[in-house]
Amino acid sequence: MAGFPLVLELCGTADRQGRGTRSIRLTTVIACGGAYIAGLHGLRAGGELPRARAVEGRPRPGGTAFQEHRSMRYPMRYPMRYLLLVLMALCAPLHAAPASDAERFASGLQFPEGTVFVGDTLYFVDYGTSAVLRLGADRSAVHAWQSAGCGPNGLLPLADGTMLVACYDAGTVEQRTLDGRLLRTVDRGAQGEPLVRPNDLAPDGHGGAYFTASGGAQGIEGRLYHLAAGLARADMVVDHVQNANGVALSPDGRTLYLGESTTDKLLRFDVAADGSLTGRRDFLVLDDLGHGERLPGDGRHTPDGVRTDPSGHVYVSLYNGDGFAVFGADGRLLATQSLPGTHHANLAISPDQAWVYGTIDDDEGSLYRVRNPLAPPRG
């Protein structure tokens, strides 16, 4: 029976195959033109595989993993076009881009965080100097305002042209004008409890906001609060979170995503009409995604900033994980983006959905810009 060679490139290791093998199970990562597809896949042949060999140990160009070249001869009982269609199906879902794709600018920051767009202008914080900045037309950091003791971490623009600021050090959530004038301060939960390390914020879709309090001090675990429209009362809606971090709402307002950094998880909740949350469950465990998928890198990835786009995709900034990842609402990994630098705390999607901006938190912090891996086609 005649056959033809089929070559697969794999990162890491794969199951060994021998004579009599009728299926190929790829338990690691398939490289498809530079995109790395996590998965546990089966390709079933119609008879014995006359030949199976592997040559291991060739470093992946520009990467830290290793590749295997595995050449297998399939019987012609399954035509080439069938196998090519299978490979296309495996390779299509995931986009992975190298760090060289990223533009880096606005350097010299002392722990940038809290990236948000106000109209077409990117605002962000410099936690180390307790300042809020915006990105100038020349991509320099332009000082907006500074408040000693605040330790700003997260920002959220409001419909009235003001913004909410999560003051990590002060234990407050503040409403301020864009030039920094203080309008309102929330420093306690509705039951009188302190807000321990307010971190990040997300709109609730009704004029209010959700915000995380990371916890970890005073014996208090992380929590999530809801500020209803009017911003007068902070109701705790989730507790017992191990380092509550990024938070985001789905476009339809029915699902809330919450980063639990210590456990490497994203939690998922159902949102009721009054803003309360039910149905707490794990949405993602970043070091064990399931479906045979895995993120690049070893060890903890540490979810930090979380954003959603109009299509419901979930973008997760990986503080310890090489860059950011994008997931579908079903939890499947859709794309990864490697970035320069060691730590990446937050990100924001440009209003036209074409770009992702975010932070690089090394000894000399900076911002980055990279093409959105799931950007809609440019017309």
Q: CATH code at 294?
A: 2.120.10.30
Higher pLDDT, 295 or 247: 247
CA pair distance 326, 306, nearest whole angstrom:
10
For the chain, give the longest Cα–Cα distance: 80
Among the residues of 38-145, which ranges form H helices? 80-91
* Stronger pLDDT, 222 or 232, i.e. the higher one: 222
Say how far apart CA 123 and CA 139 lie, in whole Å. Answer: 12
Q: In what order do the strands lie in the sheet with 35-38?
A: 35-38, 29-32, 3-11, 66-75, 52-59
**Number of folded domains that form the chain:** 2
* Cβ atoms 213, 225 nearer than 8 A: yes
| DSSP codes, 196-244 | -SEEEEEE-SSS-EEEEE---BTTB-EEEEEE-TTS--EEEEEEEESSE
CA-CA distance, 174 to 164, in Å (whole number)? Answer: 6
Determine, yes or no, domain membership for 76: yes
Does residue 172 sit within a domain? yes
Q: Is residue 20 part of a domain?
A: yes
Specify if 379 maps to a domain. no
Among 6-10, 138-142, 193-197, 372-376, which is the least confidently predicted range? 6-10
Q: Are residues 310 and 259 in the same domain?
A: yes
Phi/psi at 82 (5° precision): -65, -45
| Structure-token pair, residue 241 | 């979170």
How many other β-carbons are positioned within 10 Å of the β-carbon of residue 127?
23
Nearby residues of 92 by Cβ (< 8 Å), 6 or more positions away: none
Q: What is the identity of the amino acid at 104?
A: R
Q: Are residues 177 and 308 in the same domain?
A: yes
Q: Which of 54, 69, 93 is the last residue of a domain?
A: 93
Q: Identify the domain containing residue 177 by its residue range.
A: 101-371
pLDDT digits (tens, 9 = 90+) for 2-48: 333 333 333 333 333 332 333 333 333 333 333 333 333 333 333 33
Task: Indicate whether 62 and 190 sit together in one domain.
Answer: no
Asked if residue 81 and residue 136 are part of one domain, the reply reads no
pLDDT tens-digit series, residues 60-114: 223 333 233 333 333 333 344 444 443 444 444 467 777 678 999 999 999 999 9
Token pair for 145: 């305002």
Q: How many CB atoms lie within 10 A of CB 81?
A: 8
Separation of CA 318 from chain center: 6
| Residue 376 lies inside a defined structural domain of this protein | no
CB atoms within 10 A of CB 273: 7
Q: Are 133 and 83 contained in the same domain? A: no
- Banded model confidence at residue 220, pLDDT cuts 50, 70, 90: confident
Residues 80, 121, single domain; the answer is no
Whether residues 206 and 122 fall in one domain? yes
Q: How many whole angstroms from its chain centre is CA 349?
A: 12
Last residue of a domain, one of 55, 77, 93: 93
Which of 38, 70, 93 is the endpoint of a domain?
93
The number of beta carbons lying within 10 Å of the beta carbon of residue 297 is 17
User: Do residue 267 and residue 157 come from a single domain?
Assistant: yes
Q: Would you say residue 377 lies in a domain?
A: no
The share of the chain scoring above pLDDT 90, in percent, equals 65
Which has the closest alpha carbon to 2: 53, 46, 43?
46
Together in a domain, 269 and 216: yes
* Same domain assignment for residues 39 and 179: no
In a domain, 24, yes or no: yes
Residue 294 CA to residue 90 CA, distance in Å, equals 15
d(Cα 375, Cα 335) in Å, to the nearest integer?
Answer: 11
**pLDDT, tens digit (0-9, with 9 covering 90-100), for 134-170:** 999 999 999 999 999 999 999 999 999 999 999 999 9
β-pairing verdict for 23-26 and 29-32:
unpaired
Are 67 and 105 found together in one domain? no
Rounded Cα distance, 213 and 360, in Å: 22
Cα–Cα distance, 355 to 272 (Å, whole number): 32
**14 and 137 inside one domain:** no
Is 378 inside any structural domain? no
Average pLDDT over every residue of 302-331: 97
